[in-house]
Amino acid sequence: MIRVAILGATGYTARELIQLLLRHGEVEITAITTRQEDQPDLGSVHPQLAGRLDLPLENLSLEQVAERADCVFSCLPHAASAESVDQILTAGLRVIDFSADFRLHDAAVYEKWYGVDHRAPGRLAEAVYGLPEFFREDIRGAQLVANPGCHPTTAVLAVAPLLKAGLVAADDIIIDSKTGVSGGGRTPQPVFHFPECNESIAPYAVGNHRHTPEIDQVLSDVGGQATQVVFTPHLVPMDRGILATIYARPVGNASENDMMAQLRQQYAAEPFVRVVDHLPATKNTTDTNFCDVSVRVVRGRVLLMSSLDNLIKGASGAAVQNFNLMYGFDETTGLL
C-alpha cells in the first residue's frame, strides 16, 4: 500500500483522481488538503464522492503531509504548486505535479508565458515530463513528475510519431484544438457561465495560450529539431473531452497508409493509445484513459486527429499511469 496525499483537492482533477485511486487497490489516500475552505466535508464539495472516502479535507502543513504520505499528487495552481513541491521533495517524498510549474525546461520561458517568477527553478533539471509514451523509463525512477497539459498530450500523441520518423515537417504544424468546459476549472467566470458558453463554439487565447511552449518543447525533444507550432484552442459546449485536428506538411513520399503504419508501430505496445481507422470523436474516449488517433492525407496535407478525456488521459488518469510506473505497478492498474 502506497500512502498518498492530494494537495488542492477541491477541483475537478482532484475529484477524478480520487475516483481513480479508490479503484486502484494498492493505494491508501491519507490526506486531502485545501487552503481555501475551512475543512468542509468531501461529500459537500464533491457530491459525487459522498460516502466514498472517510477522510476530512484539511488545511495541513507540508510537514504534516510529509508524515502521512509517501507520494504527493499536487493539484495546486501554478506558482503555488512550485513552492509546495519544492518542500515536499526536500522532505523525501515523490511528487506528481498537475500544474505547469515543472513542465518547461527553461524558467525564462515559463516566466514569459505564465507572467510570474518561477519559485523553484533549481528543481527543473530533475523534473521528468510525465508522458509515458515517450518518457517511460525516466518516469520510473523520477522523484518529480510534471504531469502534462491536456492540449499538449492530445496533440503530441498524434503528431510526434510522424515528426520523429521524419514524415512531416517541423516548421509547419497547425493545431486546431477543441476542448470541453471542464478544462477551464471550477471557478465560475462569465466565459463558463452556462447561458454564455452553451450552444456556442468559440476560439480563445488565440496566439497566447500557455500550452503553446509546452507543445513546442515536447515536439522539439521527441522530433530532435526545434519546433514551433500554431496552436488555437476552442471552447466546445460539452463537459469533457479534447479533439485536436492537426495540419502538417508531408516530407518525402509516405502515403496515408504508411503514416497509419507508423502510428501503429509506435503504439503497438502502448496500453492507452489506440490507432483507429475511423475518425476520432471525443465521446469514444470520455471517462477513459485512452487516446484515439488517426491520420488522413488531404490534398497533399497531412491531417492528424486525436481525442482524449481532458480530465483522465489529459490529467488524472495520466497521473495514475505515471504513479504506476514510479511504483512498479502494472501500468493499467486502476485505469481500465
* φ, ψ dihedrals at 165, nearest 5°: -85, 0
Q: Residue 272 to residues 134, 142, 248: CA-CA distances in angstroms?
A: 13, 21, 24
Yes or no: say if 280 and 294 are a contact pair by the CB < 8 Å rule. Answer: yes
Closest CA to 205 of 114, 101, 77: 114
Decide if residue 198 touches a copy of itself (CB under 8 A): yes
Q: Are 150 and 242 in contact (CB under 8 A)?
A: yes
Instruction: Let me know: does 81 contact 101? Beta carbons within 8 Å.
Output: yes
The reply on whether position 18 binds a copy of itself by CB under 8 A is no
Tell me the number of residues near a copy of itself by CB under 8 A.
74
Residue 54 lies near a copy of itself (rule: CB under 8 A): no
- The Cα–Cα gap between 85 and 35 comes to 15
At its nearest, how many Å lie between a copy of itself and the CB of residue 163?
17
Member of 145, 158, 181, 222 binding a copy of itself (CB under 8 A): 181
Nearer to a copy of itself, 127 or 167 (CB): 167
Question: Rounded to the nearest whole angstrom, what is the least distance from the CB of residue 41 to a copy of itself in the complex?
Answer: 10
Catalytic annotation, pick one of 75, 150, 197, 291:
150
Instruction: Examine residue 52 and tell whether it contacts a copy of itself (CB under 8 A).
Output: yes
CA dihedral 259, 265, 268, 270 (to 10 degrees): -80
Q: Which of residues 289-308 bind a copy of itself (CB under 8 A)?
A: 290, 292, 296-299, 301, 303, 305, 307
For residue 126, the tally of other CB atoms under 10 A from its CB is 11
Residues 248-287 that bind a copy of itself (CB under 8 A): 274, 276, 278-287
Nearer to a copy of itself, 84 or 212 (CB): 212
Q: Rounded CA gap, 304 and 108, in Å?
A: 31
- For a copy of itself, the binding residue among 8, 149, 241, 250 (CB under 8 A) is 241
Interaction between residue 332 and a copy of itself (CB under 8 A): no
Q: Which stretch binds a copy of itself (CB under 8 A): 72-80, 94-102, 113-121, 174-182?
A: 174-182
329 Cβ contact list (under 8 Å, min separation 6)? 26, 323
Is 150 one of the catalytic residues? yes
Answer for which of 204, 224, 226, 261 binds a copy of itself (CB under 8 A) is 204
Task: Report 109-138 residues binding a copy of itself (CB under 8 A).
Answer: none
Residue 39 makes contact with a copy of itself by CB under 8 A = no
- Sheet architecture: strand order including 273-275: 202-203, 230-235, 168-179, 242-250, 301-308, 291-298, 273-275
Residues taking part in catalysis: 150
